[in-house]
Structure 1
Amino acid sequence: METESHNSLQERPTPSSNGRTSVDGDKLIKAVRDENINLVQQLLEGGADVNFQDEWGWSPLHNAVQSDREDMVDLLLCYGADPCLKKKNEATPFIIAGIVGNVNLLRLFLSRGADVNECDANGFTAFMEAAVNGRVEALKFLYENGAKVNLSRRAKQDQKRLRKGGTTALMDAAENGHVDILKILLDEMGADVKACDNMGRNALIYAFRSSDDRNLEGITRLLLDHGADVNVRGEEGKTPLILAVEKKHLGLVQMLLEQENIEIDDTDREGKTALLLAVQYSLKDTAQLLCEKGASTDCGDLVMKARRNYDPFLVKLLLSYGAREVCPPPAEDWKPQSSRWGKALEHLCRIYRPMIGNLKIFIDEEYKIADTSEGGIYLGFYEGQEVAVKRFYEGSTRGQQEVSCLQSSRANSDLVTFYGSESHKGCLYVCLALCERTLEEHLTTHRGEAVENEEDEFARNVLLSVFKAVEELHLRCGYTHQDLHPRNIFIGESPVFL
């Protein structure tokens, strides 16, 4: 987006060849900004540099386009202005024409060599800028001339590492409240309503980011009617339903609850559900609607929150829907056994999560232990025990074989302890003993250290445990392990193998 925020603080003024040129250049830019076309012509005739750029890279042509002065643009081009000149943030006059929404200028710059999908340093194209600024005619013109509707915003490498970028024109239109642009993108141009940015946010989340709620209902309805994912998560793990409650917008809450696949009890990263927030904000109608639609009242100390807010209506409502009068917090003296994962386990223990059978888990980066080829490994509690949880899709052959193998080898102390498994919404959760590190991590940490007798003892114990585990798998259970690697050997109280 063409704003000063796009410019890096590290930028420096463009050096000029001499002081006089710099003075004339500054005068020329000021004359363009003042829209004094006679003075612009005088300066050009006097030899002012038509391609002079100020410290941010603004040239006379950039300024003329920003002022939407076609006559001044023509004059500057006649005197040799570079139609493809870039500002410090790499924005061209063509991209600025997209912001202004001037179709004549867009057509002119395309004829002078502009690429319809060219972008600035932040990944903004003219098409995206037209969507941001609600320029309907410019948007249609650019589309007719080959603009890519579903192009996602390219991020710089350092920004990409922070999962920035990936935004589309549809998300821009949703965030800026342009219902007309949104309709055109969806109905006429085939915009992908399921597209997500690099943080996993879709256009529905972007709609809720807007500070102006006037068009929010219309935009939400439009996106939902076109199949937007209603359970997507935004900042802090908040779903559209949670965001609607936070906006204290009963109509939006009702609209979202009408969706067939809505997950009414989803929590944000703090373990708060939509109902808990409704009670916290004393939103009586919203809380009643959520309860009527089946929201769980087992999501924290709801009754206590209602009492603290001196809200007898909510107290009676919650009790009538089965809320407990007292929801005891975890024991204050509870301490995690794991030193490595202790902080995350304490947080997971403290927040509310709906149970999956005997398992408490939250699929979030904070609680991820490792990636796998299928669904990752996460921290969890199984029957109150700290566990590592391997996630598979429910029909996974590998997952079923792993459960079968672990069940048949429970008595073997050289194999990782298996606590149990749960299935929920198409996923299989396999709960295993939580170990502090892998052999690979141990070797990396202790690489280069002198080998003492104690270290020899450790190495012998590891190898002995591996051999015994392989014997158990191969001879007694009929399984073949095809990936013997230090990362698959876990270190606990004694070496264990998986």
Structure 2
Amino acid sequence: METTNHNTPEDGSASAGGQRTAGKDGLLLLNAVKKGDVDRVQQLLEQGADVNVCDEYWGWTPLHNAVQIGRVDIVNLLLGHGADPRRRKKNGATPFIIAGIHGDVRLLQILLSQGADINECDENGFTAFMEAAERGNVEALRFLFANGADVNLRRETTEDKKRMKKGGATALMSAAEKGHLEVVKILISDMKAEVDARDNMGRNALIHALLNFNCENVSKHVEEITSILIEHGADVNARGDGGKTPLISAVERKHTGLVQMLLRQEGINIDDRDSTGKTALLIAVEQQLKEITQLLLEKGADTKCGDLVGIARRNYDHCLLKLLYKFIHDTDPPAVDWLPHSSRWGEALKRLHGMPRPRIGKLKIFMHEDYKIANTSEGAVYLGIYDNGEVAVKVFYENSTRGCKEVSCLRDCRGHSNLVAFYGREYYKGCLYVCMSLCEWTLEEFLKAPREEPVENGEDKFAHSVLLSIFEGVQKLHLHGYSHEDLQPQNILIDSEKAVRLADFDQSIQWPGESPIIKRDLEDLGRLVLYVVKKGEIPFETLKAQNNEELLTKSPDEETKDLIHCLFSPGENVKNCLKNLLGHPFFWTWEDRYRTLRNVGNESDIKVRKNESELLRLLQPQTLEPPRSFDQWTSKIDKDVMCQMNHFYKTSQNPYRDTVGDLLKFIRNIGEHINEKKNRKMKEKLGDHSRYFQETFPDLVIYIYKKLKETEYRKHFPQAPPRLSVPEAAGPGGV
């Protein structure tokens, strides 16, 4: 509801240009006007007091004050000494607008003759005509209308208030809201006010008539005003705050006569729901309004709007229960054809779906241990049915900071497959219910459960696919300006399709501008990498307790070690760290790694051993670099294979040397010739050559990656991470 106290600083007050604050004589003049002391006013003016002085706080001039107390004589005296009739207070109100509030036609006539604009408005969009209507000043209203006041003018307020849907109300809406029956009649019958105009919230005069229902004057005339508005075309199905229709508002206010009147109207939507999903009938039963409940039932209200019988039982209202049984023949039969998607939660979901429970908006929930998924820091997560679909429901207290963070992050980042889907929220009895996609397992549960994983060439494709999904999910959060702040196995979920989804955003932080605070996320990701690669054998809390250097020593291979190191030490470009790491060799298949080595080895500078080339210079180990597995590499290749490969260079007497370039050339040549018949024995010795080189030189791929990732030769790297999914055989319990 819009405020009607237009003299407060909350009304968008701004300093009026050119106003002069009061000195000693000015203060004396202002006080004399407020007291109505005309002699003292005249004396001060003759002594030279500033007639247009204004008070320091709200910008009232002597003329504003004189109009407010209705002193025509002082108004004329001030105008005679040069008072500015167009001067505005800090909220933009002129003396003419204040005259509309006072309702004195003589003042309005005087100020209009002094150049006032009949439709001038303050910063909240109030004109003198609107003020007269809001205060029931009939004589002033008629005078202003006769002099050209726009009866259907809508309040033009400030831009910031427009963004909050404030403003847009008409004089008729104000009169209806304040219960001024005579003004409503005059505006509609004599002045042809537009009855079904809407304010910026979409509310018509009928909705406004029900806003101040507890006010004695409003309550006294509400039925008559409602009747007049409906008779002249007001939409009886319009919606107000919280999506409430006039019928729902009338029921909430327990006004039987108003409910009867509304139910007589043709086209009334008796089963409309407010924003919480409640109908007029459900509200009537909850409030134990037997007479109104009977009116609604006799009019044909839908009884499948909630567990009406259950509500009456819980309230021990036997009279209401007896009434309901007369109209409800089938309370809420379970739908036998509804089947949940979840295997793990299926039986509980079917019981919940068939259970007669009152709905909270679109949500059916039973907060009982049998339907609880997990505990949280402020409540719990329960199974739920939302809009006839299965969901997980995270419960917070209504004004929870964590709940606000959860909703904000889910809403702003919705639509990403690596995050749990957000379906909606509901409020009820001080609780916030956040509805999101239901998953089968936490990552911790998934790793602990027995399963059979396919192993190809010794690759851990399961770990790579899970971590790729987690990285992509966290990256999407960061792109939306959020950091998760609580990445751990319990907050990473696996759904029924084996898709990995990030969850639990109640500690998330939205960071401003270009200053991401995401280092904690990156460190937690580093620990998650080790946790997943180790299949959960090391508890995550143990990993969190260890320092970064200790964790790096636990890495099973060079790719994992380097990936974790990059997460722990992201450098200056923190914001794009994950985007860059999605192309890290950790996520490459062994075939990708082998192909990269071959492609680099196929560069002409390597094939002809152009020692002065930039590529070979880049690949040359530096003096202080630690030992590598590929140092003296020719001695680590199967002797027969090495001898046979060197045989090709017997004529030129230019055998392979122990350089990185020659090793890449060797790998390239093996790849090109290994399948030739004459090399059958060599192929038998090497076996799967991609695996052979990965195991013989485990740090070669990461070495090449780090040397070339900032150069043009990165063109040989896989262009994008493969779109992997969790292998089907990897589900726990064979599910």
* TM-score between the two structures when normalised by the length of structure 2: 0.47
Contact kept in structure 2, 1:174 and 1:206, CA below 8 Å: yes
> Which residue in the other structure is 2:331 paired with?
324
Displacement of 1:441 after TM fit? 10
Distance 1:246 1:493, change over 3 A: farther
Match of 2:28 in 1: 27
Instruction: Indicate the residue corresponding to 2:82 in structure 1.
Output: 80
For 2:223, the equivalent position in structure 1 comes to 217
CA pair 191-290 structure 1, distance change in 2 beyond 3 A? same
Residue type of the alignment partner of 1:184: I
CA distance in 1, matches of 2:115, 2:187: 26
Q: Are residue 258 (structure 1) and residue 264 (structure 2) matched? A: yes
Residue 269 of structure 1, aligned match among 264, 275, 282: 275
Q: Cα distance 1:348–1:168, how it changes in 2: closer, same or farther (>3 A)? A: farther
| 2:158 is the counterpart of 1:156 | yes
Structure-2 change in CA distance of 1:17 and 1:8 (3 Å): same
Contact 1:202 1:232 in 2 (8 A): yes
One-letter identity of the residue aligned with 1:180 = E
What per-residue deviation string (whole Å, max 9, x for no partner) do you get for residues 230-283 of structure 1?
111111111111110111110000111111111111111222111111112211
**Does residue 303 in structure 1 map to residue 309 in structure 2?**
yes
Aligned residue among 5, 10, 14 for 2:8: 5
C-alpha separation in 2, matches of 1:10 and 1:148: 24
Please say if 1:36 is aligned against 2:37: yes
Partners of 1:82 and 1:16 lie apart in 2 by 11
Q: Residues of 2 paired with 1:124 and 1:347: CA distance?
A: 51
In 2 relative to 1, CA 368–192 (structure 1 residues): closer, same or farther, beyond 3 Å? farther
Given that 1:6 and 1:122 are in contact with CA atoms closer than 8 Å, whether structure 2 keeps it comes out as no
SS in 1 for 2:8: helix
Deviation string, structure 1 residues 441-494 (Cα, Å, up to 9, x no partner): 99878996676595699xxxxxxxxxxxxxxxxxxxxxxxxxxxxxxxxx9989
What's the offset of the Cα at 1:27? 1.6
* Unaligned runs of at least 5 residues, structure 2: 333-354, 358-363, 374-381, 390-407, 414-421, 425-434, 438-471, 482-573, 586-722, 727-735
Cα drift, residue 17 of structure 1: 7.2
- C-alpha contact (below 8 Å) 1:2/1:91 kept by paired residues: no
AA aligned to 2:179 is G
Shift of 1:309: 2.5
Cα distance 1:456–1:225, how it changes in 2: closer, same or farther (>3 A)? farther
- Answering whether residue 239 of structure 2 is matched by residue 233 of structure 1, we say yes
Separation in 2 of the partners of 1:451 and 1:281? 55
Alignment of 1:109-258 (within 5 A): 109-210=111-212, 211=215, 212-258=218-264
Q: Distance in 1 between matches of 2:243 and 2:131?
A: 28
Q: Secondary structure at the match of 2:210?
A: helix
Q: Kindly tell me: are residues 194 and 261 of structure 1, through their superposed partners in 2, closer, same or farther at Cα, counting changes over 3 Å?
A: same
Write the letter of the residue equivalent to 1:283: L
Q: What letter matches 2:124 in structure 1? A: N
Alignment identity in percent?
A: 52
State the 1:203 CA deviation.
Answer: 0.7
Q: Is the 8 A contact 2:6 2:91 kept in 1?
A: no
Give the counterpart letter for 1:324 in structure 2: T
Classify 1:77/1:167 alpha carbon distance in 2 versus 1 (closer, same or farther; 3 Å): same
Shift of 1:103: 1.8
Q: CA deviation at 1:314?
A: 0.6
In 2, Cα distance between the equivalents of 1:164 and 1:312? 45
What are the superposed Cα offsets for residues 27-50 of structure 1, whole Å, 9 maximum, x if unpaired?
Answer: 212211211111111111111111
Q: Once the 2 structures are TM-superposed, how far is the Cα of residue 188 of structure 1 from its aligned partner?
A: 1.9
Residue pair 2:103, 2:137 contacting (<8 A) in 1 also:
yes
Shift of 1:4: 2.9
User: How much is the aligned-residue C-alpha RMSD, in angstroms?
Assistant: 4.2
Please give the alpha-carbon distance, in whole angstroms, between the structure 1 residues aligned to 2:45 and 2:725: 81
TM-aligned CA distance change 1:200 to 1:456, over 3 Å: farther
| Corresponding residue for residue 55 of structure 2 | 54
Runs (5+) with no aligned partner, structure 1: 337-345, 359-365, 371-377, 388-435, 458-490
8 Å contact kept, 2:203–2:238: yes
8 Å Cα contact 1:201/1:233 also seen in 2: yes
Q: For residues 376-412 of structure 1, what are the alpha-carbon distances to aligned partners after superposition, in whole Å with 9 as ceiling and x for unaligned?
A: xx969xxxx999xxxxxxxxxxxxxxxxxxxxxxxxx
| Structure 2 CA distance for aligned equivalents of residues 347 and 48 of structure 1 | 75
Q: Distance in 2 between matches of 1:347 and 1:70?
A: 71
Look up the SS of the partner of 1:88 in the other structure: coil
Q: C-alpha distance in 1, partners of 2:117/2:282?
A: 51
- Answer whether contact 2:412 2:480 (CA < 8 A) is retained: no
Which letter does structure 1 place at the counterpart of 2:237?
A: N
CA distance in 2, matches of 1:307, 1:274: 19
Note the alpha carbon deviations across 1:351-373, whole angstroms, 9 max, x for none. Answer: xx7x9xx9xxxxxxx99999xxx
> Could you say what secondary structure the match of 2:292 adopts?
helix
Q: Secondary structure at the match of 2:39?
A: helix
Deviations 1:118-157 (A, max 9, x none): 1101110111101101111211221222211111111211
What is the Cα deviation at residue 222 of structure 1?
Answer: 0.6
Code of the aligned partner of 1:304: G
- What secondary structure is seen at the aligned counterpart in 2 of 1:209? coil
Contact 1:131 1:169 in 2 (8 A): yes
